């Protein structure tokens, strides 16, 4: 199986606070990896380490290696901007940029030098359709993205990532503020998308991980307790902590 | 006991606020009362658009001074606005927060330096440089523009930084996560989202430049003439009032007050535009 990310002896610090402790595992391509764990476990930090968004935090420091397609993304000559084009991210709080729906979607492609109007139009329709949003907004692409509902904004954020045609999509609790219908739409979209993309989904909802992910990783207090097939993790976990968490005994 | 002091404080504050406002109103009324009759008597058109300023002959055309004020202000904007906005962007986007928190108050402190000090530096340092390198008297439109441009920097930088920092962090993160560079994020997202605040800072700086008097008197040369080059000596509206008020009497004195009315109107217009721009920013958030 093709491996997208090798995580090797990863330690992560905010100032002197060790937030990720000696993480080792591999993320295969074209799967959905669900990451679960109580809040404060380092799930967001781990996700943001994969596209180097943590670089923006002052006092953040990394040890160990993260290899993306075999290349160390933290080596000093690695192109971070190119990395973020290949590894797209949807944040927990859906925040479109303060511009029209259309401009939000073409923001990424334009940065990559795509300026052909026809090509952009195609991208817009394609990515909005894939994010299950096209039908709701196709008649008002030029209106401000800020006027969409929360669920629509989150799908817009997914669509603008898809428009960049990345290889990996990182999602940080994308459904935490959404109603069940919007959540179902996002989950449907993700299941459809894993054919073309590698998807890493942090979720505070263990049922969601059980529903959509192929692999599940359980983080607790900065430790990766267990990672494996979703079926195995949810039916016969190897660690008691995992069992306690998925049966709702803590967290 | 507590209730009484509560009421007492309220009353005290009210009296203070009231007297501050009435002082402002009285000043405005006084200037208008002294200046407006002259404008009616002399004729607005003649007053604004005649180039003849010869008080001893009863000629009161302030056109050269208006032109000088506009040029000096425009020059100050050309110097101060790009420097100020670039400085604000650099400090808020490229410099670590801890450093910015030291530099910003320091820059704001520059606004507290008396304008006579800026004027002094202009006379001692800037004017000789201009005279030696470009010719002319040195004390000139150019010198005035540069000194005023520097004087408005604290206003432009400070207000611009505030409005840039008010741009939600999530906009920047969203843009960077989509593969934008820092500079692309700045000019495609940050500047757009803080545009009204940046414009407000420039307009407030402009108001300061038009109204500035002491530094301009010291460095601009003060000849009443319509400038043909940046190296010409000029006299602004404010400089004219300050230079002649001490000995002016009768009609001459009234003409100076009328000049004040014109300045007053220009500055009120600029400030209203700025406050509308600032309010627009607040509403958007
Ligand atoms: N920018 C930051 N600066 C300092 N500490 C942080 C920062 N972000 C997260 N942390 C700390 O790192 C730990 C893990 O946080 P996070 O990765 O957000 O956990 P999760 O997403 O699992 O809730 C927490 O203890 C949190 O307080
Ligand atoms: Mg989190």
| Chain segment B11-70, per-residue pLDDT in tens | 999 999 999 999 999 998 999 999 999 999 999 999 999 999 999 999 999 999 999 999
Does residue B270 share a domain with residue B181? yes
pLDDT for B276: 84
Number of the ligand 1 atom closest to the C-alpha atom of A37 = 22
Q: Are strands A215-220 and A223-229 parallel, antiparallel or unpaired?
A: antiparallel
Mutation pick for ligand 1 pocket among A11, A19, A60 (CB with most ligand atoms within 8 Å): A19
| Domain around B11 | 2-42
What's the distance, CA A63 to chain centroid?
Answer: 22
Ligand 1: lining residues by beta carbon, under 6 Å: A 14, 17, 19, 37, 39-45, 57
**CB atoms near residue B191 (< 10 Å):** 16
pLDDT for B54: 93
Q: Which ligand ends up closest to the CA of A53?
A: 1
Q: Which residue of B has its CA nearest to A157?
A: B174
Please write the tens of the pLDDT for every residue from B109-126. 998 999 999 999 999 999
Residues of B in contact with A84 (CB under 8 A): 176-179
Mean pLDDT along residues B144-156: 96
As for how many domains chain B has, the answer is 2
Using alpha carbons, select from A135, A132, A142 the residue that is nearest to residue A175.
A132
Does residue B245 share a domain with residue B151? yes
Using alpha carbons, select from A32, A31, A27, A30 the residue that is nearest to residue A49.
A27
Mean pLDDT along residues B89-110: 92
Does residue B22 share a domain with residue B129? no
Does residue B139 share a domain with residue B55? yes
Residue A90 phi/psi, 5-degree rounding, is -115, 125
As for how many domains chain A has, the answer is 1
Number of the ligand 1 atom closest to the C-alpha atom of A202 = 21
Does residue B189 share a domain with residue B51? yes
Residue B277 scores a pLDDT above 90: no
pLDDT for B63: 95
Any bridge partners for residue A87, and if so which?
Answer: A168
pLDDT for A250: 61
Any bridge partners for residue A88, and if so which?
Answer: A169
Does residue B54 share a domain with residue B195? yes
Does residue B20 share a domain with residue B71? no
Which protein residue's CA is at the shortest distance from atom 16 of ligand 1? A42
Considering only CB atoms, A160 lies closest to which of B168, B178, B188, namely B178
| Domain around A231 | 3-246
Q: What mean pLDDT is reported for chain B? A: 91
Does residue B125 share a domain with residue B34? no
By the 8 A CB rule, do A41 and A218 touch? no
Does residue B267 share a domain with residue B172? yes
The proportion of chain B whose per-residue pLDDT surpasses 90, expressed as a percent, equals 81
Mean pLDDT along residues B158-173: 94
Residues of A in contact with B184 (CB under 8 A): 111
B82 to chain A, minimum CA–CA distance in Å? 24
Query: Is A242 among the domain residues?
Result: yes
Does residue B106 share a domain with residue B21? no
Query: Is A251 among the domain residues?
Result: no
Exposed, middle or buried, B87 (CB in 10 Å: 0-12/13-18/19+)? middle
Please write the tens of the pLDDT for every residue from A211-232. 999 999 999 999 999 999 999 9
Does residue B128 share a domain with residue B208? yes
Q: What is the rounded CA–CA span in Å between residue B102 and residue A175? A: 40
Query: Is A34 among the domain residues?
Result: yes
Please write the tens of the pLDDT for every residue from A41-64. 999 999 999 999 999 888 899 999
- Confidence label for B282 from pLDDT (cuts 50, 70 and 90): low
Q: What is the rounded CA–CA span in Å between residue A177 and residue B102? A: 38
The answer to whether A88 contacts B168, with C-beta atoms less than 8 Å apart, is: no
A97 to chain B, minimum CA–CA distance in Å? 6
- DSSP letters of B173-234? HHHHHTT--HHHHIIIIIHHHTHHHHHHHHHHHHHHHHH--HHHHHHSB---S--SSTTS-B
B188 to chain A, minimum CA–CA distance in Å? 9
Return the beta strands (E) in chain A as ranges: 3-14, 17-28, 32-36, 60-68, 71-72, 87-90, 168-172, 198-202, 215-220, 223-229
The proportion of chain B whose per-residue pLDDT surpasses 70, expressed as a percent, equals 97
Number of the ligand 1 atom closest to the C-alpha atom of A47 = 17
Contacts of B151 (CB under 8 A, 6+ apart): B76, B80, B115, B118, B208, B209, B212, B215
- Confidence label for B1 from pLDDT (cuts 50, 70 and 90): low
What CATH number is associated with residue A112?
3.40.50.300
Mean pLDDT along residues B271-283: 74
Please write the tens of the pLDDT for every residue from B189-221. 999 999 989 999 999 899 899 999 999 999 999
pLDDT for B173: 93
Residue B2 scores a pLDDT above 70: no
Kindly state the tokens that stand for B103: 């530099």
Q: Enumerate residue ranges in chain A where pLDDT < 50.
A: 251
Residue B285 scores a pLDDT above 50: no
pLDDT for B269: 87
Q: Which residues of A208-225 are buried (b: 16+ CB within 10 A; e: fewer)?
A: bbbbbbebbbbbbebbbb
Contacts of B204 (CB under 8 A, 6+ apart): B155, B156, B159, B270, B271, B274
Dihedral (Cα; B279, B282, B283, B285), 10-degree rounding: 160
Does residue B30 share a domain with residue B72? no
ipTM of the complex model: 0.91
Kindly state the tokens that stand for A229: 């097939």
């Amino acid at each position: 199986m093709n491996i997208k990310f090798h995580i090797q002896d990863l330690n992560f610090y905010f100032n002197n606070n060790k937030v990720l402790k000696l993480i080792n595992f591999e993320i295969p391509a074209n799967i959905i990896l669900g990451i679960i764990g109580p809040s404060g476990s380092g799930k967001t930090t781990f996700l943001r380490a994969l596209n180097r968004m943590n670089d923006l935090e002052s006092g953040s420091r990394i040890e160990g290696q993260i290899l993306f397609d075999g290349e160390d993304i933290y080596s000093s000559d690695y192109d971070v901007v190119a990395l973020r084009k290949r590894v797209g991210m949807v944040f927990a709080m859906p925040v479109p940029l303060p511009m029209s729906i259309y401009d939000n979607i073409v923001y990424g492609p334009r940065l990559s030098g795509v300026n052909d109007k026809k090509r952009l139009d195609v991208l817009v329709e394609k990515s909005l359709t894939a994010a299950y949003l096209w039908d709701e907004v196709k008649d008002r692409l030029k209106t401000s993205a800020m006027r969409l509902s929360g669920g629509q904004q989150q799908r817009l954020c997914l669509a603008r990532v898809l428009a960049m045609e990345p290889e990996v999509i990182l999602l940080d609790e994308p459904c935490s503020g959404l109603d069940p219908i919007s959540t179902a739409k996002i989950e449907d979209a993700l299941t459809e998308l894993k054919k073309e993309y590698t998807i890493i989904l942090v979720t505070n909802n263990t049922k969601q991980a059980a529903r959509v992910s192929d692999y599940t990783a359980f983080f607790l207090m900065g430790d990766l307790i267990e990672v494996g097939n979703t079926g195995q993790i949810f039916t016969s976990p190897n660690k008691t902590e995992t069992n306690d968490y998925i049966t709702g005994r803590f967290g | 006991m507590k209730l009484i002091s509560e009421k007492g404080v309220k009353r005290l504050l009210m009296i203070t606020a009231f007297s501050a406002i009435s002082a402002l109103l009285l000043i405005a009324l006084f200037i208008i009362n002294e200046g407006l009759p002259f404008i009616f008597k002399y004729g607005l058109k003649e007053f604004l658009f005649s180039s003849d300023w010869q008080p001893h002959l009863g000629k009161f055309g302030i056109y050269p001074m208006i032109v000088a004020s506009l040029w000096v202000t425009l020059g100050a904007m050309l110097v101060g606005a790009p420097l100020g906005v670039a400085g604000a962007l650099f400090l808020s986007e490229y410099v670590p927060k801890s450093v910015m928190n030291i530099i910003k108050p320091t820059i704001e402190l520059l606004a507290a330096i008396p304008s006579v000090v800026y004027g002094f530096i202009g006379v001692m340092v800037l004017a000789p440089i201009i005279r030696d390198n470009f010719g002319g008297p040195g004390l000139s439109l150019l010198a005035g523009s540069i000194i005023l441009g520097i004087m408005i920097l604290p206003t432009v930088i400070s207000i611009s930084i505030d409005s840039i920092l008010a741009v939600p962090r999530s906009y920047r993160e969203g843009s960077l996560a989509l593969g934008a560079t820092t500079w692309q994020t700045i000019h495609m997202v940050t500047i757009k989202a803080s545009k009204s605040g940046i414009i407000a800072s420039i307009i407030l700086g402009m108001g300061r430049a038009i109204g500035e008097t002491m530094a301009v008197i010291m460095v601009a040369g003060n000849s009443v003439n319509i400038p043909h080059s940046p190296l010409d000596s000029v006299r602004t509206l404010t400089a004219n009032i300050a230079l002649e008020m001490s000995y002016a009497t009768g009609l001459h004195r009234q003409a100076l007050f009328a000049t004040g009315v014109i300045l007053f109107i220009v500055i009120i217009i600029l400030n209203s535009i700025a406050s509308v721009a600032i309010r627009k920013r607040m509403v958007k958030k």
